[in-house]
Structure 1
């Protein structure tokens, strides 16, 4: 049986996971403890050690509606969310912009990569200590890193979760993230079957523009 999802919830859930966040203007966090500083350094090392990644993902909104698909990432700046076959939606980052393509209504929306919370994942040279903080998890094997701008609450919050894994770059594996907007709409991305530093062609981040008189990108 094929599950169907309301258009509003589907679009909102997808957009929320990539909701614009002005990372360049984030206020500095409070001085980090030695433990949290070490944790951020570990995450930074993981990002620098990961040139590419593929994974399966499950996206869950606050109503429990779930979408699945394939994630492809190539640093710096490139990412692709290929949704399940019955979902006419695609999200692609080409190194400069994040683009959401809705093939059902033939619409395209675009944000600068640097203004997205995913910028923290896509730019391994970005200094996490300037705009992120470590949250307690109750487990030494799990790291949780929150990114938000207290001066612009309308941009929302994203929390990335990493688990310790000796086979992953720098001993960490990205398990997923949670995005929360100012209206308390929550979207969760869970990753599985992660593969690191695999060959990924730049052509993986091309897409077909559904708008009239437009060509593929």
Structure 2
């Protein structure tokens, strides 16, 4: 999987499968959303990714905040993306070379994986709207808007992140929706150990 594909992946791990249909749903404040993200320390589940070309990818996702996330793609892709130790690694099973590696802070993941998410205090929020059912927050790195942006779609009562849409640096969009997400799951550190993953694949 190419780097650009990875940069359009990042916050789906917090989603749940179905949208609330009540038209009376409230618009969530930035403080409520920040609090929700900060209390969600671990989560795991499945995901469906709608790629920019209309194709679908599926897989499993694991989150352990702060700073750790893992995307395991199902066949025929079979790619793996791991963030840990301030780095992101993309493993391509069709390649016999070491994975591509990038700083975590150069991806949209850094916005929701930091230790203290405070959307109200930072200049990252560029949009905050509600359609009566969901609240949509658009965020980007205020110092590097060229990295693209993330639209986070939430429902209330209880607060849950349902899906996201990422616009990359070329204007391409990717949507991710998760299913069967389990908050508070016990996830071992080995899931996010990039060096250990490289060794298990014979790269070190």
For 2:91 and 2:72, how far apart are their aligned partners in 1?
11
CA displacement, residues 158-206 of structure 1 (integer Å, 9 cap, x when unaligned): 112222243xxxxx22212111123221111111212111211112223
Q: Is this contact kept in 1: 2:38–2:117, CA < 8 A?
A: no
1:161 aligns with 2:153: yes
Q: 1:71 to 1:123 in 2, by over 3 A?
A: same
Q: 1:182 aligns with which of 169, 177, 197?
A: 169
TM-score (norm 2): 0.78
Q: Which runs of 5+ in 2 are unaligned?
A: 11-25
**How many residues are treated as equivalent by the alignment?**
184
For 1:57 and 1:165, how far apart are their aligned partners in 2?
23
For 2:6 and 2:50, how far apart are their aligned partners in 1?
12
1:191 aligns with 2:191: no
Q: Which residue of 2 aligns with 1:209?
A: 198
Q: Note the C-alpha offset of 1:50.
A: 0.9
Q: Which residue of 2 aligns with 1:98?
A: 88
Q: 2:125 aligns with which of 111, 125, 132?
A: 132
TM-score (norm 1): 0.73
